Amino acid sequence: MDDSTLYVVSASSSAELTRSVTELTSGSIGVFQTSTSDGYALQADKEYAYVDDAWTAVDEEIKLRTANASICAYAPYDAALIDYTAVPLTSGVYDASTDLVYSSTLVGPVNALNRNVSFTMMHAYSRLTLKIRRGNYTGTGAVSSVGVSGGGIYSSGTLNLATGTYAGLVAGGLTLDPGITSTATNADKQVGLRFVPSGSLSSGITLTFVVDGYTLTATTTAYAQLEAGVNYQASVVINGQAVSPPVIETPEWEEVPYDDVIYTGI
């Protein structure tokens, strides 16, 4: 390799609550060199894959000069991600294999004489996990729709990888069919969601469920925000008689580490 080539020594992701770090040892990351001064030009979305216990450029390597470069990165790699200043984010079902993590511009010298870099990546999304079970409700407890709404909840937005700032936030909740055909009293049915982070939930979070054809709502003001890198968990209990509308209760809300194992299988 050329002596001016960038070397990725390690990449890891960090959870907001515990600051625990999980090293990434599979899949691919995307790396940007964003400086356009001192002889640099934009080098966009260069793929580095973890092969034979090392991060290796798949196609083109990022070249460095004696002046400092501006380097940021993200995972998992997406060949369609060209604009590092406006990475699209969409609230929806949580999927660990596509969950976006990123490292904003590295602090410290990165140049031809300081070519080894390590990325500690942060989660771009906030998570909400609903743990649904039947209490004393005697019906089937089939859940055909789950909705999340409230002031300050966003359906989409963009992220600037270099600065870690969010923009283009579009207000809107989320409604989906979780495919839950029945609920039990001794085991949770979990619905995992991801959200564009929100710095302020002005009216709390309203949960709307359709249970056995009945539309039910519950509102909590337990949290003032949906913070990136945090997994908010809510226990949802269905009570009541089958001959009348059941009642939804949310007795427990807690913040937990974002995930135990990060990026298995990317």
Would you state the pLDDT for residue 222?
Answer: 83
Query: Span 126-257: which CATH code?
Result: 2.60.40.2630
Instruction: Give 243's contacts (C-beta < 8 A, 6+ positions apart).
Output: none
Would you state the pLDDT for residue 250?
Answer: 64
DSSP 157-175: EEEETTTTEEEEEEE--EE
CA distances from 72 to 2, 29, 32, 138 (A): 21, 11, 5, 54
* Average pLDDT for the chain: 88
Confidence band, pLDDT 50/70/90 cuts, at residue 264: very low
Residue type, 173: G
* Domains of the chain by residue range: 7-81+100-123, 126-257
Q: What is the mean pLDDT of residues 152-167?
A: 98
Confidence band, pLDDT 50/70/90 cuts, at residue 247: low
In this model, does residue 168 exceed pLDDT 60? Answer: yes
Both tokens of residue 123? Answer: 């989660």
Would you state the pLDDT for residue 108?
Answer: 87
Would you state the pLDDT for residue 260?
Answer: 35
Q: What is the mean pLDDT of residues 122-150?
A: 93
User: Would you give the DSSP letter of residue 86?
Assistant: -
In this model, does residue 261 exceed pLDDT 60? Answer: no
Would you state the pLDDT for residue 248?
Answer: 64
User: Would you give the DSSP letter of residue 113?
Assistant: T
Question: Does this model's pTM top 0.85?
Answer: yes
Q: What is the mean pLDDT of residues 94-109?
A: 93
In this model, does residue 262 exceed pLDDT 60? Answer: no
In this model, does residue 65 exceed pLDDT 80? Answer: yes
Both tokens of residue 111? Answer: 């140049």
Confidence band, pLDDT 50/70/90 cuts, at residue 255: confident
Better pLDDT: 259 or 47: 47
Would you state the pLDDT for residue 26?
Answer: 92
> pLDDT over 90 for what percent of the chain?
68
> pLDDT over 70 for what percent of the chain?
88
- Cβ atoms of 229 and 123 within 8 Å: the answer is yes
Would you state the pLDDT for residue 265?
Answer: 22
Domains 7-81+100-123 and 126-257 fall in the same CATH topology: yes
Fold (topology level) of 7-81+100-123: Immunoglobulin-like (2.60.40)
Would you state the pLDDT for residue 162?
Answer: 98
- Cβ atoms of 175 and 124 within 8 Å: the answer is no
Nearest Cα residue to 123 out of 76, 185, 156: 76
Confidence band, pLDDT 50/70/90 cuts, at residue 221: confident
